[in-house]
A = this chain, B = another copy of it.
């Protein structure tokens, strides 16, 4: 059991936050935040990168790189895979998107302000939906374990697989 009162008592549910970026108002807000963040950093959120981010934000589920190719190319000429990968690299590097290694899929960061802290993804093995959470309890525990083993932590994403509430009884 991990005790981190200073972090936990401020938040309900031990501080796990969830977000719903694919709803259009929220997505607009996310784009605005991303633009602000890039401006502040001198990073260039070009039209291509912005479109990739928009498509990711518009999807409730993580998308594969070639899914993105398809969706981005629906209007006009098909985009080369490498172009999408480059845009994804940019977005990930600046904390605007994440890669789910266990699914070879990408999703928009739902809360840009958290930056590159340790976040966790709950991934439903049935429907594939992913919920991004920032849980101090998880972060603290992970940090502690890393420290114990002499590892220098690198803020990365934790992928936790389960079966979401809507998929409990299926199959």
Contact = CB atoms under 8 A, between A and B. Distances in A.
B2 A148 contact: no
A137 to B, nearest CB: 5
Contact of A145 (B122, B149, B156, B168): B122
A2 B141 contact: yes
Interface residue range, chain A: 35 or more
Interface stretch (A8-16, A24-32, A62-70): A8-16
Nearest to A148: B13
Contacts of A76: none
Main secondary structure of the interface of A (DSSP, over half): mixed
Copies of this protein in the assembly total 2
Contacts of A151: 122, 124, 160, 162-165
A133 interface: yes
Given A137-B145, A144-B137, A145-B16, A159 B101 contact: yes
A140 interface: yes
Interface of A: 1-3, 8, 11, 13-14, 16, 18, 101-103, 120, 122, 124-125, 131, 133, 135, 137-138, 140-142, 144-146, 148-154, 156, 158-165, 168
